[in-house]
Amino acid sequence: MSARPQRNVILNALAQIGEAGLFGLTLLAAVPRSLRYLRETVRQLWFVGAMSLTIIMVCGLFVGMVLGLQLYYVLSIFGGTAASGTVVAIAIYRELGPVVTALLFAGRAGTSITAEIGLMRATDQLAAMEMMAVDPIAYVAVPRYLAGLIAMPLLCAVFCALGIFGGHLVGVTWLGIDNGTFWSNMTATVDVWKDVVNGILVKSLVFGAVVSLIAVYQGYTTPPTSEGVAYATTRTVVASSIAILALDFVLTAFLM
């Protein structure tokens, strides 16, 4: 898979994107074959999803709290602190929830997927599997990819819930915005389809698909050296972050 050395940065990047896309198609084609390794998928879901809950919950809580604090400060200039519930909810559903979850996920789970598969490659475990007639794509790559895809929206929902809770904690409990106003303004303005479904489901599903693909692809195609694994792990974070933020803009433009 490792491409011939290319000097041109742009061509190199294009080749990487193209190879990653083809690799994604290979993964999708291998999904039926990997169904017999369902237990492996569940184990990966435990690792990338359930084990990421702590960081997602803590970060969600703090993001919501800082939003509540900043909004209270800014909105009190206009005497509009009652709107802070609405703004916290919309900001978290539409942008912060999916984007921050995806960035955290790339750092927490994406890197470990890349490093794990990369080390398997470097220590010839993947080749050994092939010799034992175990398809490494179906057994190693697809379960991790599917786990990432499933985990991202769920993590994003947890992040958003904790974010709202954090905003409520700061705005209502500490700064004294009226509880009823906070919730009723939120429920009056936030829309299920435009805010919750588009934000939490659509955006984070796309981010989950892209981040997991980048992580699995980088691990699978890593040069089989310890340096190569290190580079691949770094590239996972860099490429994922760029992809998340660029896609976020494109998705927002489409979903608005």
The CA distance from 215 to 140, in Å, is 12
Footprint on residues 108-167 left by another protein (CB under 8 A): 150-151, 153-155, 157-158, 160-161, 164
Footprint on residues 176-235 left by another protein (CB under 8 A): 183, 186-192, 195-197, 200-201
- Give me the least distance between CB of 168 and another protein, in Å please: 10
With CB under 8 A as the rule, give the number of residues binding another protein: 35
Nearest to 255 by CA among 191, 211, 183: 191
- Give me the least distance between CB of 60 and another protein, in Å please: 10
What amino acid occupies position 200? I
What amino acid occupies position 106? A
CB closer to another protein out of 122 and 155: 155
For another protein, the binding residue among 26, 69, 70, 80 (CB under 8 A) is 80
Tell me, residue by residue from 26 to 65, as one string, x for binding to another protein by CB under 8 A and - for no binding: -------------x--xx-xxx-xx--x------------
The CA distance from 150 to 114, in Å, is 18
Applying CB under 8 A, does 105 fall inside the site for another protein?
no
CB closer to another protein out of 69 and 197: 197
70 contacts: CB under 8 Å, gap ≥ 6: none
- Give me the least distance between CB of 162 and another protein, in Å please: 8
CB closer to another protein out of 54 and 225: 54
CB closer to another protein out of 2 and 173: 173
The DSSP secondary structure of 114-182, one letter per residue, reads HHHHHHHHHTTHHHHHHHTT--HIIIIIHHHHHHHHHHHHHHHHHHHHHHHHHHHIIIIIIT---HHHH
CB closer to another protein out of 20 and 90: 90
The DSSP secondary structure of 41-110, one letter per residue, reads HHHHHHHHTGGGHHHHHHHHHHHHHHHHHHHHHHHHHHT-GGGHHHHHHHHIIIIIHHHHHHHHHIIIII
Residues found near another protein in the complex (CB under 8 A): 39, 42-43, 45-47, 49-50, 53, 80, 89, 93, 150-151, 153-155, 157-158, 160-161, 164, 183, 186-192, 195-197, 200-201
